[in-house]
Chains A and B, each alone.
Chain A
Amino acid sequence: MLLVEADGKSLLARHGIRVPAAALVRQAEGFCPEGPGPWVVKAQVPVGGRGKAGGIAFCRDAEAVTEALRRLLGGTLRGHPVTMCLVEQAVAGAEEHYLSLLVDPVSYGVRIAWTRAGGIEVEKAGEIASRLAPPEEGAILVAAEELLAEAPPRDRVALREATVSLVRALLRDGLLLAEVNPLFLGPDGAVAGDAKVVLDLNLAETRADLRDLVLARPDAYPDAVRKLEEGFDYVEIDPEGEVGLVTTGAGLSMVVVDEMQAAGLKPLNFCDLRTGQLRGDPARLVRVLGWIAERPQVRVVLVNIFAGITDLGEFGRLLSDALDRTGLRLPVVARLVGNGAAAGRAELERRHPAVAVVDSLPEALTRIAALRAS
């Protein structure tokens, strides 16, 4: 998962990267920036290209800061609600560099990239000098030396220090990406102007400090928090969505969302229930149906389960139990395929005859379109 800038910076700072003085702000009213300014106001959402999307404002005075906060807070940026902004002292008189470390899955190593031309246009350039190294501190630093041979001698000490910090962050915190762009180089050394950090959520399952970092921000990472706390995936795609999804399997669930969107149906959520982990307990289904029922625009629920191993007879029982417990009033279309599908259908038809059980996904989508229109 991608961390918001403020968390990426605090993680990198623990390994020695310097960051500008900043305040994390949730409300425009009553906030007054410290220091002489100017400031930069940045929406804290886990996306790339925030500058181009209008999520970053350069502010000469305190009034401009308030104005930027008013504009950004409460809005959305590339599908994410903006609940926090970072207000940072602008760094003056520094050169902008780019420095990143990225796990390379082909070589099972780490790619280090550096260039003098930092800033928001760097992704476009696509011509960043880089080196591959095995995933060990010494080897990465040797590769970094080769790369930094191109750097002006006066910058090398600061760039080396920043590199050591990024290497330690990546290796010790098990990251997939540690990117600083821009990395400001001035008379006082290197300062991170931004941070893009991709955390391994698998590692956060067992590393308490990483887990706490995610759990501390339920408003920035609602989906990841839900995953850590519940043990399965439920990602809200569109809070105004009209079709709630109770689905299993990441790829199939994504395609169901894609096909519905293309058909003009508005899915509320992505869901990978992991039916293999239900173990005879409807609790997970009760949770999902509860979240779906909370959203006022939802008109219909689609259940799509392709059972490789899961016993659909048992799933039919669990879904019936969950429907009983939640007292869900929405129409439900259920498509069950695979192991025990007949038993699952029989169970639903006996206990919840209003549930439309269908065989194919196209048929399920046709039914949903009709129910939504009615």
Chain B
Amino acid sequence: MIASLSARTPVLVLGLTGRMGRAHAAHMRRYGTNIVGGTALRADAPAEQDGIPVFADIAAAVAGTGAQAAIAMVPPAGMRAAAEAAFAAGIRLLVTIAEGVPVHDSIAIGRAARAAGATWVGPSTPGLALPGRMKIGFLPDVSLRPGDVALMSKSGTLSYEVGYRMAQRGLGQSLWIGVGGDPVKGVRFADLLPVFLADPATRAIVLVGEVGGAEEEEFAAALAATPSAKPVFAIIAGREAKEGVSMGHAGALTWGEFGTHAAKQARLTAAGVRCCATVEALVEALAAG
């Protein structure tokens, strides 16, 4: 579903009538996203809000609009039910923003997505974008610039910083996906490798990783097994992370040798990825290569 995204893709906002839902729906529309409808957080919601039709539930919204993608602006405790309902209603791509979703709820959401053959991005992500064309989520416009570098990131803010400095250097992105900072999630770095390799608009790949989990290592294994002419650049946050403690993101947790910066950097480097120690070095390497 990610490969076929376009400015025409019809998108629903789950929780459109909430404070966040309303504000972000307006931002996304201004950026070019085809917002076709939303669902209400409360039973007494109006039939329309800011010109966007409001439905009682996701099944009615999909039936009424033909939406293929949705963004969930619902609290973490309600995420599992909202996601399962979205996949049951036929949503092909679901982006879930909230952080704080219990890990075993994320396991259930992941299983529901896989059973439905759908794509899930999140939790704890600012979303994704086709820079200059559309975005699902709230990636800041100041960091988005159309270009030929595919960017994927566990961290929102660090990717904003990378995108912003790329833009200042005259570089831009073909596709931008925030996979989120949780230990159990939807789309993972390794899942995106074939998408980026097949995308004719992508010249190079940037991986913005961080300590914890094994996603960078999985990506390294996938890259080593796939001949690729597209260079991959990476920055891994958390070289100085404290062991045994979640560093802001639930997934940014190391213990013993598990999930450490050194382990990730070694595996990525061995797979041919150029690992950079600073944002500055990353952007310079991108500009040069």
Check B140 against A47 for contact (C-beta < 8 Å): no
Distance in angstroms between the alpha carbons of A257 and B237 in the assembled complex:
9
Q: Is B110 an interface residue (CB 8 A)?
A: yes
Distance in angstroms between the alpha carbons of A176 and B154 in the assembled complex:
19
Distance in angstroms between the alpha carbons of A328 and B253 in the assembled complex:
32
A308 touching B255 in the complex, CB below 8 Å, given contacts A103-B107, A108-B107: no
Q: Is A255 an interface residue (CB 8 A)?
A: yes
Check A46 against B158 for contact (C-beta < 8 Å): no
A2 touching B255 in the complex, CB below 8 Å, given contacts A254-B210, A339-B140: yes
Check B245 against A254 for contact (C-beta < 8 Å): no
Instruction: Select A1's contact among B76, B139, B253, B258, beta carbons within 8 Å.
Output: B253
A338 touching B183 in the complex, CB below 8 Å, given contacts A202-B102, A252-B155: no
Q: Is B48 an interface residue (CB 8 A)?
A: no
- Chain A's nearest CB lies how many Å from the CB of B126? 7
Instruction: Select B188's contact among A105, A223, A224, beta carbons within 8 Å.
Output: A105
Distance in angstroms between the alpha carbons of A183 and B107 in the assembled complex:
28
Contact residue range for chain A?
Answer: 35 or more
4 more A-B contacts (CB under 8 A) besides A249-B156, A250-B181?
A: A224-B246, A249-B160, A253-B248, A339-B140
Check A48 against B256 for contact (C-beta < 8 Å): yes
Q: Give every chain A residue within 8 A of B49 (Cβ-Cβ).
A: none
A46 touching B160 in the complex, CB below 8 Å, given contacts A2-B255, A106-B188, A123-B257: no
Q: Give every chain B residue within 8 A of A306 (Cβ-Cβ).
A: 140, 157, 160-161, 164
B residues 54-77 touching A (CB-CB < 8 Å): 76-77
Chain A residues within CB distance 8 Å of chain B: 1-2, 45-49, 78-80, 103, 105-106, 108-109, 123, 134-135, 171, 174, 176, 196, 198, 200-203, 205-206, 223-224, 227, 233, 235, 237, 248-255, 257-259, 261-262, 267, 270, 272, 306-309, 337-339, 361-362
- Chain B's nearest CB lies how many Å from the CB of A68? 22
Distance in angstroms between the alpha carbons of A252 and B156 in the assembled complex:
8
Give B218-247 as 1s and 0s: 1 = Cβ < 8 Å from A's Cβ atoms.
100000000000000001011111111111
29 A/B residue pairs, CB under 8 Å, sorted by A: A2-B253, A48-B255, A105-B183, A105-B213, A108-B110, A108-B184, A123-B257, A223-B242, A224-B245, A233-B248, A235-B247, A249-B157, A250-B247, A250-B252, A251-B208, A253-B248, A254-B210, A255-B235, A257-B240, A261-B240, A267-B240, A272-B247, A306-B157, A306-B164, A307-B140, A308-B140, A337-B164, A338-B140, A339-B142
Check B255 against A46 for contact (C-beta < 8 Å): yes
Q: Is B80 an interface residue (CB 8 A)?
A: no
Q: Is B33 an interface residue (CB 8 A)?
A: no
Instruction: Select A361's contact among B238, B256, B279, beta carbons within 8 Å.
Output: B279
Check B103 against A237 for contact (C-beta < 8 Å): no
Q: Is B95 an interface residue (CB 8 A)?
A: no
Q: Is B278 an interface residue (CB 8 A)?
A: yes
Q: Is B249 an interface residue (CB 8 A)?
A: yes
A45: nearest chain-B partner, CB-CB = B244
Check B248 against A46 for contact (C-beta < 8 Å): no
Distance in angstroms between the alpha carbons of A109 and B104 in the assembled complex:
10
Check B280 against A362 for contact (C-beta < 8 Å): yes
Q: Is B91 an interface residue (CB 8 A)?
A: no
Instruction: Select B104's contact among A135, A233, A251, A257, beta carbons within 8 Å.
Output: A135
Q: Give every chain B residue within 8 A of A109 (Cβ-Cβ).
A: 107
**How many residues does chain B have at the interface if contact means C-beta atoms less than 8 Å apart?**
64
A258 touching B155 in the complex, CB below 8 Å, given contacts A48-B258, A105-B184, A337-B164: no
Check B76 against A198 for contact (C-beta < 8 Å): no
Q: Is B29 an interface residue (CB 8 A)?
A: no
Q: Is B92 an interface residue (CB 8 A)?
A: no
A110: nearest chain-B partner, CB-CB = B107
Distance in angstroms between the alpha carbons of A328 and B211 in the assembled complex:
33
Distance in angstroms between the alpha carbons of A125 and B255 in the assembled complex:
17
Q: Give every chain B residue within 8 A of A202 (Cβ-Cβ).
A: 76, 99-103, 250
Q: Give every chain A residue within 8 A of B218 (Cβ-Cβ).
A: 106
- Chain B's nearest CB lies how many Å from the CB of A109? 8
A47 touching B255 in the complex, CB below 8 Å, given contacts A249-B157, A308-B139: yes
Check B279 against A254 for contact (C-beta < 8 Å): no
A251: nearest chain-B partner, CB-CB = B155
Instruction: Select B253's contact among A134, A198, A339, beta carbons within 8 Å.
Output: A198
**Nearest 6 pairs between A and B by C-beta?**
A251-B155, A48-B256, A249-B157, A250-B248, A251-B158, A46-B244
Q: Give every chain B residue within 8 A of A205 (Cβ-Cβ).
A: 100
Distance in angstroms between the alpha carbons of A106 and B186 in the assembled complex:
9
B251: nearest chain-A partner, CB-CB = A105
Distance in angstroms between the alpha carbons of A16 and B239 in the assembled complex:
38
Q: Is B159 an interface residue (CB 8 A)?
A: yes
Distance in angstroms between the alpha carbons of A227 and B247 in the assembled complex:
11
Q: Give every chain B residue within 8 A of A174 (Cβ-Cβ).
A: 102-104
A78: nearest chain-B partner, CB-CB = B243
Check A254 against B252 for contact (C-beta < 8 Å): yes
Q: Is B169 an interface residue (CB 8 A)?
A: no
Check B239 against A251 for contact (C-beta < 8 Å): no
Distance in angstroms between the alpha carbons of A123 and B110 in the assembled complex:
29
Distance in angstroms between the alpha carbons of A108 and B112 in the assembled complex:
10
Give B246-273 as 1s and 0s: 1 = Cβ < 8 Å from A's Cβ atoms.
1111101101111000000000000000
Q: Give every chain B residue within 8 A of A272 (Cβ-Cβ).
A: 247-248
Q: Give every chain B residue within 8 A of A203 (Cβ-Cβ).
A: 102-104
Distance in angstroms between the alpha carbons of A255 and B252 in the assembled complex:
13
A254 touching B238 in the complex, CB below 8 Å, given contacts A46-B244, A224-B245: yes
